[in-house]
């Protein structure tokens, strides 16, 4: 099938490439020439496992090309996926859907009758219905649908190729059938297809992220209780998660969630619920957000205690800058926020990350960066473990001991092996774990 994918960020680019890979003819559209030019030459602006190879292969197959022109897109296909950003409103909590609105307004006069515009961006419930009315005012014979995206950064390609579910909120049976046809290879591989109304489909996306964020904040709230009671949240999480009704996933305690999705999605959901007059029903999401942000201050407070009450003149080595392991994304990164806060209090902070140093440097030029762990920790009075990259679990505490000033490490991700560090003479402190 012929289709366009408008917006070439994480979601759009991966979707475009994967759609071309399963046999569709795809034009990826972005108004940003600086993104399109490298993509046309097969260079991806984002780091995702498998993406570069797939991009090269699909470009070579002739089934994928890129364009900066919506008119070109409208001439090429009758099916258009909209994958533009819906960030947090500047100075507010609601989602800023202006980019989505702009795509509809720009595309509406160009599309052929019978076109289908499918939203993949995360939007407040009710947006698709509103966009449908907006589209039909200009293009009466076209329609909208919503098909939320559930991919995780770091697994974008594999999640898109082998999704657990495809959720479609369509206004007509015809639109539903078009989406079934598009995703047929995924459905054959076992993805479950949910066809529902647009409002329900929009809510499936935000409810999923809200639930996962709640699960993380729940275990972090337990970590706070563990700290007060002298209990161990790591064992607690393990034992609680063993109940198959609860499960281990997203029960990893520590510094909490960041990134471009969970924080803004739960705020936007709370704001939208208030608009709908049901703010009280999900008021707990505000607490989920607060618990999450509190882990950052708890980490800074604990770090300050560990260096004797003040950061002035102290050297701190930071392990991790990305918002999570397996990603080079530093948007709303808890690690960088903690590193910055400590620097503002007078510490000299040197940050290591296996993938995210370039992005970190752009966003936080005031911090110092190091290409390897020993360099980041040279002369450190304290080492902070802030992003749970698997390679940090393999650090030799003995070797690191030879470069630091003081053998103190704060494991704010609760993934380091306390015994190994302690037997090498380190004091390992962690959130929610007894000393």
Residues near ligand UGA (CB under 6 A) are 122, 149-153, 209, 212, 216, 250-252, 254, 256-259, 261-262, 323-324
Report angle CA 201, 102, 258 to the nearest 5 degrees.
Answer: 55
CB of 195 to ligand UGA, least distance (A): 20
Tokens of 237: 């999480």
> Can you spell out the DSSP letters for 3-55?
EEEE--SHHHHHHHHHHHHTT-EEEEE-S-HHHHHHHHTT--SS--TTHHHHH
CB of 383 to ligand UGA, least distance (A): 19
- Contact (Cβ atoms closer than 8 angstroms) between residue 256 and residue 334: yes
CB of 379 to ligand UGA, least distance (A): 29
* Catalytic entry in 18, 83, 226, 261: 261
Tally of CB atoms within 10 A around 286: 14
- Contact (Cβ atoms closer than 8 angstroms) between residue 30 and residue 8: yes
CB of 332 to ligand UGA, least distance (A): 8
- Using the minimum distance from each CB to ligand UGA, give the nearer residue, 5 or 73: 5
- Using the minimum distance from each CB to ligand UGA, give the nearer residue, 250 or 284: 250
- Using the minimum distance from each CB to ligand UGA, give the nearer residue, 238 or 398: 238
Exposure string of 222-248, with b = 16+ CB inside 10 Å and e = fewer, is bbbebbeeeebbbebbeebbeeeeeee
- Contact (Cβ atoms closer than 8 angstroms) between residue 5 and residue 81: yes
- Using the minimum distance from each CB to ligand UGA, give the nearer residue, 132 or 254: 254
> Can you spell out the DSSP letters for 218-264?
HHHHHHHHHHHHT--HHHHHHHHHTSTTT-STT---SS---SSSHHH
Exposed/middle/buried for residue 91 (C-beta within 10 Å: 0-12, 13-18, 19+) = exposed
Please give the Cα distance from 111 to 3 (Å, whole number): 12
CB of 308 to ligand UGA, least distance (A): 29
Q: Three-state SS string across 266-282, please?
A: HHHHHHHHHHCCCHHHH
CB of 414 to ligand UGA, least distance (A): 9
Give SS3 for 110: coil
- Using the minimum distance from each CB to ligand UGA, give the nearer residue, 341 or 400: 341
Determine whether 261 is an active site residue: yes
- Using the minimum distance from each CB to ligand UGA, give the nearer residue, 258 or 317: 258
- Using the minimum distance from each CB to ligand UGA, give the nearer residue, 70 or 210: 210
Please give the Cα distance from 355 to 353 (Å, whole number): 6
Give SS3 for 88: strand
CB of 96 to ligand UGA, least distance (A): 15
Residues noted as catalytic: 261
């Amino acid at each position: 099938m012929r289709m366009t994918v408008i917006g070439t960020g994480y979601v759009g680019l991966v979707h475009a490439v994967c759609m071309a890979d399963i046999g569709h003819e795809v034009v990826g559209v972005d108004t940003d020439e600086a993104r399109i030019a490298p993509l046309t030459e097969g260079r991806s602006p984002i780091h995702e496992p498998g993406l570069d190879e797939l991009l090269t292969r699909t470009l070579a197959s002739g089934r994928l090309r890129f364009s900066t022109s919506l008119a070109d897109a409208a001439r090429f296909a009758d099916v258009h996926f909209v994958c533009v950003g819906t960030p947090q409103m500047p100075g507010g909590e609601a989602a800023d859907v202006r980019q989505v609105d702009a795509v509809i307004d720009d595309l509406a006069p160009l599309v052929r009758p019978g076109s289908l515009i499918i939203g993949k961006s995360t939007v407040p419930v009710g947006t698709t219905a509103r966009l449908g009315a907006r589209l039909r005012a200009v293009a009466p014979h076209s329609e909208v649908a919503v098909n939320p995206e559930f991919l995780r950064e770091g697994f974008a390609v594999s999640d898109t190729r082998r999704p657990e579910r495809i959720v479609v909120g369509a206004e007509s049976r015809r639109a539903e059938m078009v989406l079934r046809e598009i995703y047929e290879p995924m459905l054959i591989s076992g993805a479950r297809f949910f066809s529902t109304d647009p409002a329900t489909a929009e809510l499936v996306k935000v409810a999923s992220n809200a639930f996962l964020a709640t699960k993380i904040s729940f275990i972090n709230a337990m970590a706070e209780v563990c700290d007060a009671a002298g209990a161990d949240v790591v064992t607690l999480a393990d034992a609680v998660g063993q109940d198959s009704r609860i499960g281990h996933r997203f029960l990893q305690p520590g510094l909490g969630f960041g990134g471009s999705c969970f924080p803004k999605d739960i705020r936007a959901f709370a704001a939208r619920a208030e608009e709908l007059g049901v703010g009280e029903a999900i008021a707990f999401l505000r607490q989920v957000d607060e618990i999450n942000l509190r882990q950052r201050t708890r980490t800074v407070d604990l770090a300050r205690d560990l260096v004797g009450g003040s950061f002035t003149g102290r050297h701190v080595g930071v392990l991790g800058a990305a918002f999570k392991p397996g990603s080079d994304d530093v948007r709303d990164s808890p690690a960088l926020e903690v590193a910055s806060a400590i620097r503002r209090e007078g510490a000299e902070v040197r940050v290591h990350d296996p993938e995210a140093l370039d992005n970190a440097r752009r966003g936080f030029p005031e911090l110092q960066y190091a290409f390897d762990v020993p360099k980041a920790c040279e002369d450190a009075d304290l080492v902070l473990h802030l992003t749970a990259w698997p390679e940090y679990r393999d650090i030799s505490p003995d070797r690191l001991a030879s470069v630091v000033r003081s053998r103190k490490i704060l494991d704010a991700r609760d993934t380091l092996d306390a015994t190994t560090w302690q037997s090498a003479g380190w004091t390992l402190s962690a959130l929610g774990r007894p000393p």
